[in-house]
Amino acid sequence: MPSLVGTAIAANYKKFGISQSGVGAEWIISVAHNAALTEAMLEDVLNYLTMPHGTGDGTTQSDHAFTVGGVGTANGAAINWATWTTDPVYVRIQGTGDFTVADAQVGMSGNLTNVTVAKVCKFTPAL
C-alpha cells in the first residue's frame, strides 16, 4: 500500500474525532429529589429546559432553550416511577446557549422543591 503521509486523507485523519456534531454544546445533567423523583417533576424540569428564559435585552444573563436529546438512568434500566427512589435521572440536552444550574433551580421552584439539577459534563464541538 502506498504511503498516505502528506495526502488529504492523512490531513483529515481523526480531525473530527472529539466532536459530537455541530449542535453547539451538549450537556449531561442529573435530576434528583431528596425523597423520590416523580414523573410529573421530571416533566416540569424538561418543560423548563426547553423554554427560553430572561429578558433577551442583552443586559440579563439567562439560560437558553435546549432540545432534550435523551433521558436515562446510570445503569440503563427503565424508570419504574412506582418504586423510584433518590437515584438521579440523567438528561442529555443540546443547544447553543448557556445552562446555569442556579437559574434552573430558581425557575423550577414551586412544586419542584427539593429537586436538584446538576451539571455532569459538557461536550462542545472541536474547532
Domains of the chain: 18-123 (3.30.70)
pTM beyond 0.85, yes or no: no
Q: Tell me, what's the pLDDT at 29?
A: 92
The pLDDT tens digits for 31-88 are: 988 888 888 888 888 888 888 765 555 555 555 778 899 999 988 888 888 888 878 9
Over pLDDT 90: what percentage of the chain? 9
For residue 91, name the pLDDT band (cuts at 50, 70, 90). Answer: very high
- Residue 72's nearest CA partner among 86, 85, 91, 93 is 91
The pLDDT value recorded for residue 12 is 59
User: Exposure of 89 by Cβ count < 10 A (0-12 exposed, 13-18 middle, 19+ buried)?
Assistant: buried
pLDDT at residue 38, rounded to an integer: 85
Mean pLDDT value of segment 14-23: 55
| 8 A C-beta contact, residue 107 and residue 99 | no
What end-to-end distance do the CA atoms of the chain give, in Å? 32
